[in-house]
Amino acid sequence: MRPMGNQQTRNPAQDGPRINDRIKATEVRLISDTGEQVGVLPIREALMRAEELGLDLVEVSPDAKPPVCRLIDYGKFKYQQSKKAQEAKKKQVVIEVKEINLTPNTDKHDIETKQNHIKRWIAEKARVRVGVKFRGREMSHIDLGYKALQELMTGLEEIVVQESTPRMEGRRLVVTLLPKSEKV
């Protein structure tokens, strides 16, 4: 039978582990708050032990036969989990990819301006993706695109390195530039 209206089926795995009265099993394998294995106990006895110690009975492994439960302070446990997740997120490094577009006919002054942009972004440790866009009959003169890229690269050799050789992606000639220290 499927749910009616706005009702949704709840997946217990999404809400976190089952605790205390939400545990459905009749028997559980209990692990104490110190990490020692107590043994297989009826659920009522496990709940009484948790209540005596002022802790929660948390279902750690619901798929085991019988399910494994631990005696822990659930609020403290959730707080520690959120702190770990926060710390992992803080250490995460986001690499930014900036993009510059040229045409085979880009003027010398415009190329110098784009070089200055690239120098600034490379100093900020960003990757730069350079694309030369070909329109109409320019496709028959791809060598002019390579020349425009070569002109752009003059003066940048000491601070950037190409991730790979320039390649065609449809009507664009594309190359990615990395800061010199980042080359893998």
pLDDT, one tens digit per residue, over 110-163 is 999 999 999 999 998 889 999 999 999 999 999 999 999 999 998 888 899 998
C-alpha closest to that of 180 among 128, 132, 131, 130? 128
pLDDT, one tens digit per residue, over 8-62 is 455 544 566 788 878 888 888 888 888 888 888 888 888 888 888 888 888 888 8
Going 31 to 35 to 36 to 37, the CA torsion angle's sign is positive
pLDDT at 77: 82
Phi, psi of 38 (to 5 degrees): -85, -40
**CA angle (96 as vertex; 108, 122 as ends), nearest 5:** 45
DSSP annotation of 107 reads: -
Assign residue 79 a region: left if phi > 0, alpha if psi is -120 to 50, beta otherwise?
alpha
pTM tops 0.95, yes or no: no
Q: What structural domains does the chain harbor?
A: 12-87 (3.10.20.80), 97-182 (3.30.110.10)
Can you read off the two tokens belonging to residue 63? Answer: 């798929």
Question: Which residues make beta-bridge pairs with 40?
Answer: 29
